[in-house]
Amino acid sequence: MSDEALAQFIDQSYLSLESFKRDGTPVRTPLWFAEDDGVFYLYTLANSGKVKRIRRDPRVRIVPCTMRGSVTGQWVAGVAHIADETTTEHGHALLLKRYGWKKRLGNIFSALAKRGRVVMTIRLD
């Protein structure tokens, strides 16, 4: 992974995650993220389409983007994994530190709705 690829995510609030359907069609989703030592941490609903796609095919691409998903950088290939319990705790701590009250509010709504969440990690190629 090049420093240039990583540097484009500094001071960005969102990244677009591109995962792939069975037929190879890309699906893009803007998400919050935190980066630590070259590893990206994202969280989402456990039963979301992106989680199902990543479990089947961990190849992904990411790029900085706006809240609405408009790309603002260069696509970078990576490999995504659903995090284990320890990594999940670390990922949530990083995201909480980065997004503060917005993340706390999201946690409350997720708990009230009893919606399971997972943390994903992405390592760039």
CA distances from 35 to 38, 40, 62 (A): 6, 4, 12
CATH for 3-124, among 1.10.3470.10, 3.40.720.10, 2.30.110.10, 3.40.50.620? 2.30.110.10
Q: What's the predicted TM-score (pTM) here? A: 0.92
Question: What is the model's pLDDT at position 110?
Answer: 82
Q: What is the pLDDT of residue 3?
A: 83
**Residue 74 in tokens:** 């260069």
For the chain, what is the mean pLDDT? 94
Domain segments of the chain as ranges: 3-124
DSSP class of residue 34 equals E
Q: Give residue-wise pLDDT tens across range 28-75.
A: 999 999 999 999 999 999 999 999 999 999 999 999 999 999 999 999
pLDDT, average across residues 101-116: 85
